[in-house]
Amino acid sequence: MDRALHDAPVEFVGVEVNDRMADLAGTIGRTASLPTKIVTGDAFEVELPKADVVLAAPPLGIRMREPRVLLDGSTTTDMAVAAVDLALQQLRPGGRAVLHVAAGFTFQHGAEQYREYLAEEHRVAALIGLPSGAVPGTGVRSVLVVIERGEPGETFVAQVGEDWETQLATNGAAMTAVLAHIDGDQSR
């Protein structure tokens, strides 16, 4: 939001499946300096607007009841893969998605074809591994995936440790490095 304050008019839209969390997010959103709307619903079932930025943290380790057709023509029941694909579908050209998903997204065989598609068709700008426990209440290792709807390019790869919150703070070493890579020379 801080970066958007200086840009053209923007609106922030959030979708949260849990009623209580949606209410809480809506309350926080009303204190923001820019228009914010939070709706209760399943992001796979509600109509989503096109966006310049998508932030998502889908549930970890969930299988979808029905297979979902992805942009590359393949199908999946893996919630993380489907969420990455949905985020990419909503992005305008040049847009950026940041997703917090289980680390398995980066290596599981079932997502291999889709990862190849991402690398060939879009800019996978960063993969930042987080330690076990970064997702409260779990011991699951996770990863922040940054994808841009644009030309393929180099990927910033990092594994942060137990001090991940410090490393990814506004002026943290990992955040500074990843932003230098992502916002740096776009011709890579």
H or E element that contains 145: strand 142-148
Task: Give the pLDDT band of residue 7 (cuts 50, 70, 90).
Answer: low
CA–CA distances in Å: residue 150 to residues 46, 78, 109, 153, 175? 25, 24, 25, 9, 22
Number of helical (H) and strand (E) elements in the chain, helices listed first: 5, 9
- List, for residues 49-62, the tens digit of each pLDDT value: 888 888 888 888 88
- On the 0-12 / 13-18 / 19+ scale of CB atoms within 10 A, 66 is exposed
Calculate the average pLDDT of the chain: 86
125 has pLDDT over 70 = yes
Distance CA 53, CA 165 (A): 22
Q: What is the pLDDT of residue 56?
A: 87
Please determine, for residue 181, whether its predicted confidence score (pLDDT) is greater than 60: yes
pLDDT digits (tens, 9 = 90+) for 49-105: 888 888 888 888 889 999 999 999 999 999 999 999 999 999 989 889 999 999 999
Return the pLDDT at 118.
Answer: 95
Q: What is the pTM of this model?
A: 0.84
> Nearest CA to 88 among 37, 48, 45?
48
The CATH superfamily assigned to 52-183 is Vaccinia Virus protein VP39 (3.40.50.150)
Say if residues 26 and 40 touch (Cβ distance below 8 Å): no
If you average pLDDT over residues 165-175, what whole number do you get? 92
Q: What is the pLDDT of residue 77?
A: 94
Domain positions in the chain are 1-42, 52-183
pLDDT at residue 187, rounded to an integer: 40
pLDDT, tens digit, 9 for 90 and up, residues 18-56: 888 888 887 877 777 777 788 888 888 888 888 888 888
What is the band of 188 on the pLDDT scale with cuts at 50, 70, 90?
very low
* Position 71, amino acid: L
